Amino acid sequence: MANKEQEENPLADLYVDASEEDRERIRDAISGLIGIDTETAKPVLREKFSSLTSKKQFTALLLYRRALLSLDELEEDETVGQDSTYFADLIGVDDSTIRHAATDLDFVVNDDEQGGYLVPPHKTHQATKWLNSGEED
């Protein structure tokens, strides 16, 4: 949208690429916690991941799912959201632990059309900020 008029407008520097900022936030938040396998795109849980609380692990995995979406790594029939069993199996907890965490975290939604639990794009900043905070459960 940049043209000569916009370049001269003092407000023109307010234009940002919101999706790029979200991708950078996600990268910064989960780097060192979760990697993405180059062959399968499955999560590679790093040592630091295991030292997190289950709520923080859940949040990191939700952000990993957003990263997969941004990287175009989801299968054609796969959605960004997943059910509680998916997360529980990766973390090694009960499904009920995931459901409880999801109700406690106000940046998590459960959307059947999107496949289950996810962080919507407009709440990515909130999720990354909480994950990186010293705040406990």
> Under a CB-based contact definition with an 8 Å cutoff, are residues 103 and 32 in contact?
no
User: Does position 31 have pLDDT exceeding 70, yes or no?
Assistant: yes
User: Does position 103 have pLDDT exceeding 80, yes or no?
Assistant: yes
User: Does position 135 have pLDDT exceeding 90, yes or no?
Assistant: no
How much is the pLDDT for 66?
A: 95
3-state secondary structure at position 14: helix
When pLDDT is averaged across residues 64-77 and rounded to a whole number, the result is 92
CA distance 122 to 137: 22
Prediction pTM value: 0.86
CA distance 109 to 121: 11
Torsion of CA 18, 24, 29, 32, to 10 degrees: 160
Enumerate the β-bridge partners of residue 109: 118
What mean pLDDT, rounded, does the chain reach? Answer: 90
User: pLDDT tens, 35-68?
Assistant: 999 999 999 999 999 999 999 999 999 999 999 9
pLDDT higher at 10 or 46? 46
pLDDT higher at 38 or 137? 38
